[in-house]
């Protein structure tokens, strides 16, 4: 692009085709910034944009996620009468979706009288990648009703939404559809399938997809390495990484995130630092903040919180809020209040309104029985308008995803669910289950603590699944928070008492429960 720009700067009166060529070149390059600068120069030079200028320019803006610039260009396109053109509208939908404004993308989509496959793909993908999987699936159904045939890009968005929700049955139907229409050879869709099966806890199905792929990229290998790691198969993840190297492929920085994650969740401290060293020395990959975060997590999970703090202090990069939050979480797990308060001070400086930090500190005080400090933290949250994100659990049944929160009574089957929950707790106690009331970080009576534990969202979700799912079928639960020690113990016993495989995906990893044991071996 630098050479092209030199030639461009020597043309005395470049025409609109030449300007567009330059804007397009930058839009497709690693540095799209000059595309916006060129558009400003066009305006100063009184060069009128044409129908091709906006799609190229908006593509550059989408890459940069420069939403303010995008809104300005949207206004200019309306003023110049180009907004009604379908390819301009498509790039506007894509731009808003890429900038995280899925609602704005959908509003534009609704106003469009002429839509093509690109339009549908842009708006579906916008919802899928912005944490709105239900809306993505709804639009996919509307697309089918409108008679629009999906392509590889559509399937990637659909599979991404299914993976986010843990909607395995729906994802399997998408997989079958891909075979029917001949999309099973599509590399990007194949990678999305690996990701789907891995995120639904069926890691061996992910491995099967990988084995059957005729064409694999480093992304394919990395998807499976990360999938094995989060499912608790750290040894297998590292073996696959060794295969990748033997194939002569060059691992990416994300491949190393998967490798370090595997070490972290299996307690392989020395191995983790060894791979971190190799990343720089063997492949010349400069570690990013994510890699440093993995090492802080590796030390924190192993109970080496002081060493983790020292590592953060010696990092060549400025530690961000995520790094300090990982350490605060480790302080909570291992009961290090003094370091927890130091860490919280750093988080107050970086992200003073993050609800998770208040909750972690409050829980840390509660675990020490410092109820007056717990009240202080909660009063501060109220004063600053910080709200705690409620824990929820999702479970799929017959292509429908059901959501439950703690003490949920909104489901049509509430009465039956709570009867099942009561039956579950009685059976567990006969097996020797004693509720871990130390996990209830509230200053209430022991009887109330026990009741609170039985109403956790994952227990409600499992009771619902036991009521409705066919006997012997695995139960899959997706939870947005870390599973607590009491629920972990209870689910181990439920898997034994009810002879069910139960797969729980929490905030950071998978737990595969079977016959009273968990794949994490109680290290999570």
* CB within 8 Å of 198: residues ≥ 6 apart: 206, 223, 224, 226, 227, 228, 230, 231
Q: Given this model, what pLDDT does residue 437 score?
A: 60
Rounded to an integer, what is the distance from CA 139 to the centroid of its chain? 21
Q: Given this model, what pLDDT does residue 246 score?
A: 94
Query: What gap in Å lies between CA 15 and CA 45, rounded to an integer?
Result: 11
Looking at the structure of the chain, the number of domains it has is 1
SS3 state at 512: strand
Strands ordered across the beta sheet of 517-518: 400-405, 392-397, 475-479, 502-505, 510-514, 517-518
> Residue 250: phi, psi to the nearest 5?
-100, 115
**Would 190 be classed as within a structural domain?**
no
Query: What gap in Å lies between CA 507 and CA 360, rounded to an integer?
Result: 15
**Would 485 be classed as within a structural domain?**
yes
**Would 423 be classed as within a structural domain?**
yes
Closest CA to 449 of 435, 431, 462, 463: 435
Please give the model's pTM, rounded to 2 decimal places: 0.74
For the chain, residues with pLDDT lower than 70 are: 399, 436-452, 524
Q: Given this model, what pLDDT does residue 87 score?
A: 83
**Would 434 be classed as within a structural domain?**
yes
Query: What gap in Å lies between CA 457 and CA 411, rounded to an integer?
Result: 12
Are 284 and 314 within 8 A, CB to CB? no
Other beta carbons less than 10 A from residue 333's beta carbon = 17
Closest CA to 510 of 254, 292, 204: 204
What are the tokens at 445? Answer: 């009576």
SS3 state at 60: helix
* CB within 8 Å of 120: residues ≥ 6 apart: 139, 143, 146, 148, 154
Other beta carbons less than 10 A from residue 285's beta carbon = 17
**Would 443 be classed as within a structural domain?**
yes
**Would 444 be classed as within a structural domain?**
yes
What are the tokens at 98? Answer: 């890429």
Q: Given this model, what pLDDT does residue 464 score?
A: 94
| Structural domain of 513 | 393-518
Query: What gap in Å lies between CA 172 and CA 117, rounded to an integer?
Result: 23
Query: What gap in Å lies between CA 436 and CA 58, rounded to an integer?
Result: 55
**Would 193 be classed as within a structural domain?**
no
Query: What gap in Å lies between CA 431 and CA 435, rounded to an integer?
Result: 12
Q: Given this model, what pLDDT does residue 446 score?
A: 46
Are 359 and 438 within 8 A, CB to CB? no
SS3 state at 390: coil
Query: What gap in Å lies between CA 196 and CA 202, rounded to an integer?
Result: 9
**Would 312 be classed as within a structural domain?**
no
∠212-215-220 over CA atoms, to 5°?
80
Closest CA to 206 of 185, 186, 187, 192: 192
């Amino acid at each position: 692009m630098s050479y092209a720009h030199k030639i461009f700067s020597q043309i005395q009166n470049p025409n609109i085709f030449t300007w567009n060529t330059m804007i397009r070149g930058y839009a497709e390059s690693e540095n799209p910034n000059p595309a916006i600068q060129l558009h400003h120069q066009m305006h100063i030079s009184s060069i009128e944009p044409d129908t091709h200028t906006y799609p190229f320019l908006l593509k550059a803006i989408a890459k940069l996620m420069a939403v303010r610039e995008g809104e300005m260009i949207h206004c200019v396109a309306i003023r110049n009468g180009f907004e009604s053109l379908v390819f301009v509208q498509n790039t506007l939908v894509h731009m808003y979706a890429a900038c995280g404004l899925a609602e704005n993308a959908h509003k534009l989509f609704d106003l469009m009288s002429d839509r093509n496959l690109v339009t549908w793909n842009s708006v579906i993908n916008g919802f899928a990648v912005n944490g709105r999987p239900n809306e993505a699936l709804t639009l996919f159904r509307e697309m089918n009703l409108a008679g629009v045939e999906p392509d590889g890009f559509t399937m990637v968005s659909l599979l991404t939404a299914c993976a986010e929700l843990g909607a395995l049955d729906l994802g399997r139907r998408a997989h079958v559809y891909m075979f029917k229409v001949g999309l099973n050879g599509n590399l990007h869709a194949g990678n999305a399938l690996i990701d789907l099966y891995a995120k639904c806890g069926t890691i061996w199905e992910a491995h099967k997809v990988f084995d059957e792929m005729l064409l694999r990229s480093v992304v394919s290998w990395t998807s499976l390495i990360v999938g094995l790691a989060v499912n608790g198969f750290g040894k297998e993840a590292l073996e696959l990484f060794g295969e990748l190297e033997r194939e002569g492929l060059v691992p990416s920085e994300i491949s190393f995130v998967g490798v370090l994650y595997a070490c972290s969740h299996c307690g392989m401290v020395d191995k983790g630092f060894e791979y971190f060293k190799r990343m720089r020395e063997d492949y010349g990959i400069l570690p990013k903040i994510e890699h440093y975060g993995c090492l802080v997590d590796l030390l924190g999970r192993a109970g080496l919180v002081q060493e983790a703090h020292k590592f953060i202090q010696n990092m060549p990069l400025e530690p961000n809020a995520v790094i300090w939050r990982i350490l605060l979480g480790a302080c909570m797990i291992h009961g290090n209040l003094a370091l927890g308060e130091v860490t919280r001070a750093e988080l107050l400086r970086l992200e003073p309104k993050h609800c998770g930090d208040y909750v972690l500190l409050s829980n840390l005080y509660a675990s020490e029985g410092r109820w007056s400090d717990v009240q202080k933290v909660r009063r501060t949250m109220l004063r600053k308008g910080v709200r705690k994100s409620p824990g929820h659990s999702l479970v799929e049944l017959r292509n429908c995803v059901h959501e439950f929160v703690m003490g949920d009574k909104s489901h049509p089957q509430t009465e039956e669910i709570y009867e099942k929950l009561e039956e579950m707790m009685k059976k567990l106690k006969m097996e020797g289950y004693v509720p871990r009331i130390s996990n209830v970080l509230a200053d209430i009576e022991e009887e109330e603590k026990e009741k609170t534990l039985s109403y956790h969202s994952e227990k409600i979700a499992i009771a619902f699944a036991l009521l409705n799912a066919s006997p012997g079928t695995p139960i899959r639960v997706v939870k947005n928070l870390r599973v607590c020690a009491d629920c972990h113990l209870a689910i181990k016993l439920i898997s034994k008492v009810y002879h069910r495989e139960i797969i729980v995906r929490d905030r950071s990893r998978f737990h595969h429960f079977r016959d009273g044991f968990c794949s994490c071996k109680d290290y999570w």
